Amino acid sequence: MKLKSLILAAALAATAGGALAGSHGGKVKVGMITTLSGGGAGLGIDVRDGFMLALKMAGADNVEVVIEDDQRKPDIAVQLADRMIQSEKVDVLTGIIWSNLAMAVVPAATAQGKFYLSPNAGPSALAGKGCNPLYFNVAWQNDNLHEAAGAYASQAGFGKTFILAPNYPAGKDALTGFKRFFKGDLAGEIYTKLGQTDYASEIAQIRASGADSVFFFLPGGMGISFLKQYADSGVGLPLVGPAFSFDQGILQAVGAAALGVKNTSQWSKDIDNPANRAFVEAFQAEYGRLPSLYASQGFDTANLLLSAMARADVGDTEAFRAALAAADFDSVRGDFAFASNQHPIQDIYVREVIREGDVFTNRIVGVALEDYSNAYVDQCRM
Amino acid sequence: MRRERLINAALLLALLAVPLWAWAADEPFTITLATRVAILALAGVGLNIALGLGGLVSLGHAIFFGIGGYAMGILASHAQDHAPLLESPLLIEGTKSMPVIWLVAVIASALAALVIGVLSLRTSGVYFIMITLAFGQMFFFFAVSWPAYGGEDGLSIYVRNEFPGLNTLDPIQFFALCFALLAGALLLNARLARAPFGLALSAARQNEARVQSVGIDSFRLRLVAFTISGAITGLAGALFADLNRFVSPAMFSWQTSGEIMIFVILGGVGRLFGPVAGAALFILLEHFLGGLSEYWHVFLGLLLLGVVLFARGGLIGTLAGREVAHD
Amino acid sequence: MSPILLIEQILNGLQFGVMLFLMAAGLTLIFGVMGLINLAHGSLYMIGAFAAAAVAGWSGSFLLALAAALAAAAAAGVLVEILVIRRLYRRDHLDQVLATFALILIFSEGTRWLFGSFPLYLDVPEALSGPVTLPGGIRYPLYRLVIIAIGLAVAAGLFWLIARTRIGIRIRAGENDREMIAALGVDISRLYTLVFALGAALAGLAGALVGALQSVQVGMGEPVLILALVVIVIGGIGSIRGALVGALLVGLTDKLGGFLLPLLFRGFMEPAAATSAGAALASMLIYILMAGVLIFRPTGLFGAGT
């Protein structure tokens, strides 16, 4: 994989055309803009690998994928989207990890008549007033996992929770989402600095607050730092968080500090259905590591695309949109459907961090929200 | 000197010819790339006035770039939502008109540069680099946590702003606007350098004591240069936001300051066309190296290192020989 | 707010300050002696953390990991000094900023090339994990107390090195008059390499110590670098004493500001807005402090001038 602009040679087997029978004959060109270098590269690499694995497993020879690295910079993402639309003439865009990059790219892409399938970012602006017929989110609405954490905290009988998140829009959405489903009282509410690495001060406040549990949303390295320092502080109150800080990619870096922590996720490697079993096995065989949440989302995104291609031609926008909205594919999450604002309706599970041999991973211990969509469905008018 | 002029003319012609060719060949993305070069070069021209003429190593020019960007974002988003910016004491509406946005961007960034200049120019050398960096960080963290205009998520504008008589949605027409502004700024820079103001500024850079002794207030000279410099970079910020139809706090980050500085240094500090050459080279590298390897930053780093160590005077200095244009 | 919580926050501020001092000491030493502004100092910090994580994972020993961090960072420092930095001493700050910025790019992506895109694991050693109870009933993590002790020991060691040893005399002489010390027969380029290696080793030590508490990942050096730059600028560039005072000032301002400002804002705003606005101001506080110091003392608190 030396070349970043990896072009899946669609031509290999079936350019002759005969093999395309069964589908509607149309090839689809996909532009994937994702983060492959710098700090957040792990997430983009997983989305890419999951997506490409699905194409490979399906033997799809009528999909051409152009992959580019956005370096996690909004202006680079916009430039790549322009290039893919203007020069590469792609039909479908996908791949963006971060909400701020999605906000920069998605409105412009859909305005130019391109489909966008989000494998990760689901900002509320694109779920509510800014929803668009050409925009589908295959992962979640950003609030979902936090809402599930609130629901779980209530189910678990916590009555006084301390909540913290970084001081930026996703952090505020996280705390709002948690409070939407949490019925108990708050022992305290803190916004931390974005990119902060030392949490001694926050942990001292948690200790002094008399809380009975802690909810935190600190993605990436922030979460690793917090978990290690929290474990070392001996505060020991139960922790609840969204899956981001407990994902396969970073769990090994947290180590034993995360053991036993409950986290909410719409996917887990032990969800028991044939699609998921095949995915987990194939991913390990192909890449030599366990799949992550992000890999599962990339995998589902590709399968959704393939299912729509089997029903309609991408050139017929209305028909293709209807085919996507039908979500007629075997999701690794089990039941999957789109709400009217084209975000998933799905179960969100509670997972617990466990150790399997030398590897830290998760297992499902319950369901926090069943067949849940999101809070913005009514604001979306299409 | 003559050689440098030839190079400058060639650069300007190339920057004009490439998008025209792309227009004829129906390659709109190449025009977008050229527009990006023109805008980033404009930001560099701004910095070059402070850096090349005044010797002020500012690691905070992202502030002005960002202010310009947000001037566009805020005005256009209010116009887009039909919500007035301010109702009392007087009604201020948002706008989608480029000339008005440019004016606001220039005035706002000039004011910011004036205030920051008054405070920062009391220091010099490394301390000046660091205090401008500190101001940049303040703006960055403020923009990230200020919820009214999107915070970290930034602000999206759905349609590019309007310019009377032109269709700005057409890439070549928008390029023409950016190119004209770049040419104007280059002209201003050339005039300034030859005017008594520019000569005194250069002299103050080279020998502060001598300039003071003939009764020139070097603090005021530098303050004026810093303000003009900030205003031009602010204008570039407004254009950049319009090119992307998007603004975000990333425009305020210290990496952005670093990149603007890289354009200037790659091209040649103090060379009139240094920022143009530097921005063009940077965009070309990003475009082609980025396509070759995920780890292209390694090669970018090696190249920058090579320029600093072995090609002093940057691209233009290497091509045109050692003598510095403005002395 | 209980007095215990306030004392604990002050302790946190001190500890954060000491961590910053480990970074800032090397940076200010290199600037003081060689006049070099080294943005790649954060990369040396990262190298220390990665070396420690790799060796700890392989050997299971934290002491070996610390030794590896010191050795790897010092070795990287020597290599970079000989290949690149040496050519920059006579250049202006602009060239130094650009060249060391280029080094950041090379080190960051090079590390990702070697170690991959996922964070590495490094934990507090068993013997130092968990909290201890201090007089007054404050429960405080032992490892953080150890960091405070190591930081203060390093500070004392540096003061002793500079004030009392032969190398220290040369370093001070080098700061004052390079030509003279060279004329007296001191091998100045060897001295510079030594000082640079010392600064790099300190950054590597900081990276390893802090890496056990935080996330060992590519790009971890840059935020710390910016804070360390703030520290040495407040203290006055080149002054070890200034770096110590600056580090403690920044550490306390950051921790106490983040804790007290939201409480203060709650006096006249509704809680959610106060939390958010307080946090916003707190994140700008140290930069405001730095600008304030420079406006009144343009060469920092203990600076001698540029």
Q: Please write the tens of the pLDDT for every residue from C203-228.
A: 999 999 999 998 898 889 988 999 99
Buried b (16+ CB within 10 A) or exposed e, A189-205: bbbbbbbbbbbbbbbbb
Which of B63, B123, B142, B310 should we substitute to test contact with C (largest number of C Cβ atoms within 10 Å)? B123
Query: Considering only alpha carbons, which residue of chain C is nearest residue A166?
Result: C279
Q: Is A111's Cβ below 8 Å from some Cβ in B?
A: yes
> What region does C49 belong to: left with phi over 0, alpha with psi -120 to 50, or beta?
alpha
CA distance B25 to chain A (A): 11
**Contact residues, chain C, for B134 at CB < 8 Å:** 230, 233, 287, 290-291, 294
Which of B138, B141, B153, B170 should we substitute to test contact with A (largest number of A Cβ atoms within 10 Å)? B153
Cα–Cα distance measured from residue B2 to residue A362, given in angstroms and rounded to the nearest whole number: 70
Q: Which chains touch A (3 or more CB pairs under 8 A)?
A: B, C
Lowest mean pLDDT among A23-27, A281-285, C11-15, C24-28: A23-27
3-state secondary structure chain A: CCCCCCCCCCHHHHCCCHHHECEECCCEEEEEEECCCCCCHHHHHHHHHHHHHHHHHHCCCCEEEEEEECCCCHHHHHHHHHHHHHCCCCCEEECCCCHHHHHHHHHHHHHCCCEEEECCCCCHHHHCCCCCCCEEECCCCCCHHHHHHHHHHHHCCCCEEEEEEECCHHHHHHHHHHHHHCCCEEEEEEEECCCCCCCHHHHHHHHHHCCCEEEECCCCHHHHHHHHHHHHHCCCCCEEEEHHHHCHHHHHHHHHHHCCCEEEECCCCCCCCHHHHHHHHHHHHHHCCCCCHHHHHHHHHHHHHHHHHHHCCCCCHHHHHHHHHHCCCCECCECCEECCCCCEEEEEEEEEEEEECCEEEEEEEEEEEEEECCCCHHHCCC
Query: Residue B323: what pLDDT?
Result: 53
Q: Do B269 and C112 make contact, defined as CB atoms within 8 angstroms?
A: no
| C265 token code pair | 């804002």
Query: Residue C75: what pLDDT?
Result: 97
Query: Residue A8: what pLDDT?
Result: 39
- The amino acid at residue B30 is T
Average pLDDT value for chain C = 89
Mean pLDDT of B228-237: 97
Whether residue A23 has pLDDT greater than 50: no
Mean pLDDT of A319-337: 95
Query: Could you tell me the pLDDT band of residue C1, with boundaries at 50, 70 and 90?
Result: low
Cα–Cα distance measured from residue B73 to residue B85, given in angstroms and rounded to the nearest whole number: 12
Domain ranges of chain A: 11-140+270-338, 144-265+348-379
> Which residues make Cβ contacts (< 8 Å) with residue B38, sequence separation at least 6?
B15, B175, B178, B179, B181, B182
Instruction: Examine residue B281 and state whether it is found in any structural domain, yes or no.
Output: yes
Q: Is C287's Cβ below 8 Å from some Cβ in B?
A: yes
What pLDDT digit, counting tens, does each position of C136-152 carry? 788 889 999 999 999 99
Cα–Cα distance measured from residue C222 to residue C245, given in angstroms and rounded to the nearest whole number: 22
Q: Is B285's Cβ below 8 Å from some Cβ in A?
A: no
Of A73, A103, A169, the CB nearest to B156: A103
Radius of gyration of chain A (CA): 21
Of A3, A37, A111, the CB nearest to B297: A37
Cα–Cα distance measured from residue A319 to residue A313, given in angstroms and rounded to the nearest whole number: 7
Give the ipTM.
0.86
More confident residue, A50 or B89: A50
Tell me the CATH number at B76.
1.10.3470
CA distance B258 to chain C (A): 8
What pLDDT digit, counting tens, does each position of B42-82 carry? 999 999 999 999 999 999 999 999 999 999 999 999 988 88
Q: Please tell me the pTM assigned to this model.
A: 0.86
CA distance B21 to chain C (A): 34
Query: Could you tell me the pLDDT band of residue A1, with boundaries at 50, 70 and 90?
Result: very low
Residue of B9, B205, B95 whose CA lies nearest to C92: B205
Residue of B28, C235, C137 whose CA lies nearest to A79: B28
Query: Residue B261: what pLDDT?
Result: 92
Are B138 and A84 contacting, i.e. CB atoms less than 8 angstroms apart?
Answer: no
DSSP bridge pairs for A214: A162, A239
Instruction: Examine residue B278 and state whether it is found in any structural domain, yes or no.
Output: yes
**Contact residues, chain A, for B33 at CB < 8 Å:** 79
What pLDDT digit, counting tens, does each position of A168-177 carry? 888 888 999 9
Of B28, B246, B250, the CB nearest to A86: B28
Q: Which of A320-329, B259-268, C92-101, C220-229 has the highest mean pLDDT?
A: A320-329
**Contact residues, chain B, for C103 at CB < 8 Å:** 301, 305
Whether residue C190 has pLDDT greater than 50: yes
Q: Do C4 and A208 make contact, defined as CB atoms within 8 angstroms?
A: yes
Count CB atoms within 10 A of the CB of residue C168: 15
CA dihedral A114, A118, A121, A126 (to 10 degrees): 50
Q: Distance from CA of residue C117 to its chain's centroid?
A: 24
Q: What is the number of CB-based contacts under 8 A between chain B and chain C? A: 131
Cα–Cα distance measured from residue C255 to residue C250, given in angstroms and rounded to the nearest whole number: 9
Whether residue A62 has pLDDT greater than 50: yes
Cα–Cα distance measured from residue A295 to residue A286, given in angstroms and rounded to the nearest whole number: 12
- The amino acid at residue B250 is A
Cα–Cα distance measured from residue A313 to residue A305, given in angstroms and rounded to the nearest whole number: 11
CA distance A111 to chain C (A): 34
| A177 token code pair | 């989402």
Query: Considering only alpha carbons, which residue of chain B is nearest residue A126?
Result: B156
| A354 token code pair | 């466990």
Q: Do A253 and C217 make contact, defined as CB atoms within 8 angstroms?
A: yes
More confident residue, C133 or A137: A137
Q: Do A194 and C123 make contact, defined as CB atoms within 8 angstroms?
A: no
Give percent above pLDDT 70 in chain C.
99
More confident residue, A243 or B157: A243
Cα–Cα distance measured from residue B237 to residue B244, given in angstroms and rounded to the nearest whole number: 11
Query: Considering only alpha carbons, which residue of chain A is nearest residue B69?
Result: A75
DSSP bridge pairs for A160: A185
Cα–Cα distance measured from residue C74 to residue C280, given in angstroms and rounded to the nearest whole number: 38
Question: Taking the CA of residue A152 as centre, how many other CA atoms within 13 Å lie in the half-sphere pointing to its CB?
Answer: 30
Q: Do B138 and C287 make contact, defined as CB atoms within 8 angstroms?
A: yes
Query: Considering only alpha carbons, which residue of chain B is nearest residue C110?
Result: B298
Query: Residue B310: what pLDDT?
Result: 86
The answer to whether the A11-140+270-338 and A144-265+348-379 domains have the same CATH topology is yes
Cβ-in-10-Å burial (0-12, 13-18, 19+) of B318 comes to: middle
More confident residue, A9 or A326: A326
Q: Distance from CA of residue B212 to its chain's centroid?
A: 30
Query: Considering only alpha carbons, which residue of chain B is nearest residue C306?
Result: B125
Instruction: Examine residue B326 and state whether it is found in any structural domain, yes or no.
Output: no
Of B151, B240, B291, the CB nearest to A169: B151
Q: Do A103 and B150 make contact, defined as CB atoms within 8 angstroms?
A: yes
Looking at domain C3-296, does it have CATH number 1.10.40?
Answer: no
Handedness of CA C261, C262, C264, C269 (dihedral sign): positive
| A306 token code pair | 């393939």
Whether residue A351 has pLDDT greater than 70: yes
CA distance A333 to chain B (A): 29
Number of domains in chain B: 1
More confident residue, C306 or A225: A225
Looking at domain A11-140+270-338, does it have CATH number 3.10.20.30?
Answer: no
Give percent above pLDDT 90 in chain B.
57
Cα–Cα distance measured from residue C285 to residue C18, given in angstroms and rounded to the nearest whole number: 19
Q: Do C287 and B137 make contact, defined as CB atoms within 8 angstroms?
A: yes
| A140 token code pair | 């979640």
Q: Do B248 and A193 make contact, defined as CB atoms within 8 angstroms?
A: no
What pLDDT digit, counting tens, does each position of C253-286 carry? 999 998 899 888 888 888 778 888 888 898 899 9
Are A163 and A171 contacting, i.e. CB atoms less than 8 angstroms apart?
Answer: no
Query: Could you tell me the pLDDT band of residue A349, with boundaries at 50, 70 and 90?
Result: very high
Average pLDDT value for chain B = 89
CA distance C234 to chain B (A): 9
More confident residue, B80 or A305: A305
Cα–Cα distance measured from residue C151 to residue C155, given in angstroms and rounded to the nearest whole number: 6
CATH class (in words) of the domain with range A144-265+348-379: alpha beta
Q: Which chains touch C (3 or more CB pairs under 8 A)?
A: A, B
What pLDDT digit, counting tens, does each position of B112-155 carry? 999 999 999 988 888 899 899 999 999 999 998 887 888 888 88
> What region does A327 belong to: left with phi over 0, alpha with psi -120 to 50, or beta?
left
Query: Could you tell me the pLDDT band of residue B1, with boundaries at 50, 70 and 90?
Result: low
Q: Is B295's Cβ below 8 Å from some Cβ in C?
A: yes
Q: Is B240's Cβ below 8 Å from some Cβ in A?
A: yes
Q: Is C104's Cβ below 8 Å from some Cβ in B?
A: yes
Q: Is B138's Cβ below 8 Å from some Cβ in C?
A: yes
Count CB atoms within 10 A of the CB of residue A166: 26
What is the extent of the structural domain holding B194? 2-320
